[in-house]
Structure 1
Amino acid sequence: MNTSQAIAAMTIEELQERCVQLERENAELTAKLNWFMEQFRLSKKRQFGVSSERTTPLQEQLLLFNEAEADARPEAPEPDWETITYHAAKGVAAGR
């Protein structure tokens, strides 16, 4: 017997009771869904929120060591280096 035949065989009282049961189940599932959605939102906030990016005093002190990099001018061109080669003249050996 399929679902439509089973519903047709039920009395009005049975159908009303089934409707109340389904509404109760729907309300319960909706409450669970809302709870899980809230837990998911709180988890994302805890993982990616501002509090997860707090710096410790040690991290702030380490930022002081980057002064040279902060003061450097990256737009300044690097100097060109030239390689100079030369040959030394042979010296006269003394006392030979």
Structure 2
Amino acid sequence: MSRFRKLSLTRVKGLVIAVAVINGERHILMNNEAYEVVKEVNRLLGLRRCSVCGRWVRPEDLGYVEIMGNKVTKAVCQECLGRVYSDIAELMGQCLTK
């Protein structure tokens, strides 16, 4: 039987990436490949508080989820994740113009 040691799920602007460590091997699944993982994570999570802003968020609206063993260690809503990506893009733009 396979065992998840760590699972990271990221959803940004239509892109879904799941990174899982199963039986010591790292697997990267994208979009359609990650469908079953996303479905199972959504089923198990229920409402969660965003680790950044503290709002209650439905599993479908989470932008980033990190699960280690059987414990959710981080959950970030789509809004907070989008803000972080915007800030990173702005900083990169500033670096390129200097």
Asked if these proteins are the same fold (TM beyond 0.5), I'd say: no
Report the TM-score, using the length of structure 1 for normalisation: 0.26
- Which fold has the larger relative contact order, with Cα–Cα distance below 8 Å and residues 6 or more apart in sequence? 2
- As a proportion of its length, which structure holds more strand? 2
Report the TM-score, using the length of structure 2 for normalisation: 0.26
Rg larger in structure: 1
- As a proportion of its length, which structure holds more helix? 1
